[in-house]
Every structure is written in C-alpha cells, then in structure tokens.
Chains A and B, each alone.
Chain A
C-alpha cells in the first residue's frame, strides 16, 4: 500500500492513525473484492500442444543453434570452411579445384624426389 507517509496496511495494525492511510486502506479493502477465477483445467494441455506444434514447424537446422551444442557446431562449420575453401561460384570452384589438385600432385611428386636425397 502506498501513502505519502510511507505507511501501509501491510505494516499497520487494525487501528490506522494516519488519515491518508485510512483512505488508502479503504481502497485496498475494496480491491480485495475483485477475485480472479481459477485457471481452466485444460490450460497446460493447450499450452503444451502449442509448444509441440511450434517445435514441429521449426526447420531441422534450427536445432543446431541450441546453446549446449551450438559452440561445437560453430567450430565444426568453421573447420569445414577453413579446409574446404569454398570459392565464389560453381565454375570458379571447378577451376580452383583443378588447380589445387595439380598443385597437390606436384607437391607429392616433389616430396617423392626429395625423400631419397634426405636418406
């Protein structure tokens, strides 16, 4: 309850001396008459049905954003991006892939040549 003198019925006994408080206590008591109804018995069932329907509508990948696994997913995605080097378009991808393959093949050949020298 509120009163300019910072009093309230929750802190007062039945004998309210402050005239401001007396007025507010009367209002407070009037407001007690405004009872709220009980919640319908089917409330929870309806809510869970709505939650289930909403979960079912989510795309599969949305589950990957769930906090406990999200960091793992983020690291995995970053690793894939780092190692795959996806180029801008499909044509470019083909060209770069060919160049990469040739480069790797050349490197392996060079390695083969170097091994006997080291030995």
Chain B
C-alpha cells in the first residue's frame, strides 16, 4: 500500500487560500516575506527594487491560488517565482542600462543598514574596512552569472537544499552541485585577498 505523505504546512495554508481563506495568505506572507525580500535584495542589490519585485512575487502567488496544486514543496514553488521575477528584472535592467551596475547607489548600506555591532562601537577605520569588504562581497556576487548567483543565494542565505534549488532552476541535482561548486570557486578566487 502506498504511504500517504502529509502535506507540508505551507501547502496546507495555500490550499486554504485557494478555498478563500485570506488569513492563511497572511500567514504565508508572514512566514516568507523576509526570505523572499532578502533573496531578491541580494539578487538585485537595491532595496526599493527588491521590495517591488517581492510584491510582484506575492501578487503572483495570490493570483495563482485558484489553480494551485501542491505538486512541489511550497518554498520551491515560491522561489521559482521569485527567481523568475528577479532574472526578468536583471535582464530588463541590463537592456535599459547596458552593462551599467544594477544598483544606482552601490554605496547604499543594506537597509539603511541597521548593522548589528558587537559590544563596542567600531572605530572609523574599522567601519571603513568593513565598508570595503562588504562592497567587494557584493561586487563578487553581482559579477556571477545570474543563475549561479541565484543558486548561491538560495543555498547560502535561504538554506535551500540541492533538490529544492534544482526544482527552482529546473536542473538536476548533480547539475546544481556542479553549478554551486563553480560559483563558490569563482567567489573564492575573487575574495581570496580578503582572507
């Protein structure tokens, strides 16, 4: 006899949204708003744009409620939408601005950056060193091909496993492992001098 796999919590919530329960949509938004915005922020490196794109993602989720079927893990489905939206935005912006940087204010600190500082106040010199290191990390990530960038961001920051990333990017798991390996190797080379 085939074992009945219980539906994951998010899929259950989404099915309730399909039945017209808006409270379940609010719960899904609460659970995934942060990860989606953060992923998009690191993809496009601009807070206003990332929030605009995240709105588009959740709008698409809401629009799709009527046809939603829990065939894949909810997170995989959600990040597939987010990645699609991000890659479209990157492509459109490249078209608009040539190869100019995606971020108009590359020096913008993340989030008006309420950076968590340890116990003591950093000196101006430490602050400057941090700024330089952060800029280099951002540039190294931005320089990755879009698909590698998406894979690294989902793997490193959002905790998605190989299978989920493979689902998002419509690749095999082995292709994702190889893609991630190449991406981390590139990052290692670019950031080696910072070690």
Residues of A within 8 A of B (CB): 1-2, 4, 23-24, 26-28, 30-31, 33-40, 43-44, 46-47, 50-51, 54, 65-68
Cβ proximity bits B153-195 to A, threshold 8 Å, 1 near / 0 not: 0011100000000000000000001001100100110011011
Q: List 26 A-B contacts (CB under 8 A).
A: A2-B177, A2-B181, A24-B188, A26-B188, A26-B191, A26-B195, A27-B191, A30-B187, A31-B141, A31-B157, A33-B137, A34-B42, A34-B110, A36-B157, A37-B114, A39-B34, A40-B47, A43-B33, A43-B51, A44-B26, A44-B29, A44-B33, A46-B55, A50-B55, A54-B59, A67-B18
Task: Say what secondary structure dominates the interface of chain B.
Answer: helix
Question: Please, how many residues of chain B have a CB less than 8 angstroms from a CB on the other chain?
Answer: 47
* In contact, A39 and B33 (Cβ under 8 angstroms): yes
- Among residues 31 to 78 in chain B, which have CB atoms less than 8 Å away from a CB atom of chain A? 33-34, 37-38, 41-42, 47, 51, 54-55, 58-59, 62-63, 66
Q: How far is the CA of A109 from the CA of B79 in the complex (A)?
A: 70
A44 neighbours in B (Cβ, 8 Å): 26, 29, 33
Q: In the complex the two chains form, what is the Cα distance from A33 to B20 in whole Å?
A: 41
In the assembly, what is the distance between CA of A35 and CA of B181, in Å? 22
Per the bound structure, the CA–CA distance linking A47 and B37 in Å amounts to: 13
Residues of A within 8 A of B194 (CB): 30
Indicate with 1 or 0, residue by residue over B115-159, a CB within 8 angstroms of chain A CB atoms.
Answer: 110000000000000100110011001000000000010011100
Q: Which residues of B contact A28 (CB under 8 A)?
A: 156
CB of B112 closer than 8 Å to a CB of A: yes
